[in-house]
């Protein structure tokens, strides 16, 4: 082995490997996080389904679909605006990328506010973590756990969108960072697609 084959650290250049699956490290890290988080949500939803299936007279407290339909629409639309932000960033249009990222954050805030409004309505009706007026107390615990975990993800995502958006505009972050954040945001949207039917639509009072 010639001297030229050695790096300054003394390692052979032949042993140097590229990032796994030839994708950037940050993106791979986000995907691994998403896979792990998928398991967390899946475990929560399976546990919820287990309890619901094994509990006679499971509460059906949702009189209508307006609020959850609106929340779904807002979150799906935020995924689209996130994509627009990424496309603008890839095209080098910083102002548009920043604008779309902030619109996505605003939609995330709207979703969170709708969610909190729904929670407050249920709490007003007497629902807590351990009891509710409709039946088993397990409903409150499972409902608040799953929707709370999702709401935490949305809130973290909104904070990340604002931070990354501002830093991208300032030149500290680039389009790759917007893409990595976009992956997280789409994942939050993806989880909601399972929460809605299992937690809301199967419990409609009709």
Partner 1 sequence: MTTAEQHKSNGIGKDLAIYVCLLILAGMQFVIAYQKIDASQMFTRMLAVACVEAGLAALFFMHLWTEKRGFLLFVAIFTISVLLMMQYGWTDSFRMVSGAPFSK
For binding to partner 1 (CB under 8 A), which residues are involved? 21-23, 31, 35, 38-39, 42-43, 46-47, 49-51, 53-56, 65, 69, 72-73, 76-77, 79-80, 83-84, 87-88, 90-92, 136, 138, 179, 182-183, 186-187, 189-190, 193-194, 196-198, 201-202, 204, 206
Q: Which is nearer to partner 1, 43 or 163 (CB)?
A: 43
Neighbours of 64 (CB within 10 A): 10
Q: Which is nearer to partner 1, 10 or 133 (CB)?
A: 133
Q: Which is nearer to partner 1, 110 or 166 (CB)?
A: 110
Quote the least distance from Cβ 91 to partner 1, whole Å.
Answer: 5
Residue 198 per-residue DSSP state: I
Quote the least distance from Cβ 165 to partner 1, whole Å.
Answer: 18
Quote the least distance from Cβ 117 to partner 1, whole Å.
Answer: 19
Q: Which is nearer to partner 1, 83 or 166 (CB)?
A: 83
Angle between helices 175-195 and 94-124 (to 10 degrees): 30
Please tell me the distance from the alpha carbon of residue 143 to that of residue 156, in angstroms, as a whole number.
Answer: 20
**Which residue's entry shows tokens 């249009």?**
93
Q: Is 187 helix (H, G, I), strand (E, B) or coil?
A: helix
Quote the least distance from Cβ 5 to partner 1, whole Å.
Answer: 28
The answer to whether the CB of 12 falls within 8 A of the CB of 6 is yes
Distances in Å between the alpha carbon of 176 and those of 30, 57, 92, 129?
12, 49, 12, 40
Q: Which is nearer to partner 1, 6 or 46 (CB)?
A: 46
Quote the least distance from Cβ 111 to partner 1, whole Å.
Answer: 14
**Which residue's entry shows tokens 């932000």?**
85
| Phi/psi at 132 (5° precision) | -160, 160
């Amino acid at each position: 082995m010639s001297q030229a084959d050695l790096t300054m650290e003394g390692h052979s250049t032949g042993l140097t490997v590229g990032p796994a699956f030839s994708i950037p490290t940050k993106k791979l890290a986000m995907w691994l996080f998403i896979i792990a988080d998928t398991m967390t949500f899946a475990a929560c939803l399976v546990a919820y389904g287990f309890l619901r299936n094994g509990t006679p007279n499971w509460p059906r407290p949702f009189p209508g679909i307006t609020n959850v339909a609106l929340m779904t629409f807002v979150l799906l639309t935020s995924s689209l605006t996130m994509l627009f932000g990424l496309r603008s960033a890839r095209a080098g249009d910083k102002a548009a990328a920043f604008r779309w990222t902030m619109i996505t954050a605003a939609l995330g805030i709207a979703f969170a506010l709708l969610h909190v409004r729904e929670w407050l309505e249920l709490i007003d009706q007497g629902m807590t973590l351990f009891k509710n007026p409709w039946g088993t107390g397990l409903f409150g615990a499972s409902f608040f756990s799953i929707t709370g975990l999702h709401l935490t993800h949305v809130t973290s995502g909104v904070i990340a969108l604002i931070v990354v958006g501002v830093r991208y505009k300032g030149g500290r972050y680039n389009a790759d960072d917007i893409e990595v954040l976009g992956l997280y945001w789409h994942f939050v949207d993806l989880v909601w697609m399972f929460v809605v039917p299992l937690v809301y639509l199967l419990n409609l009072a009709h």
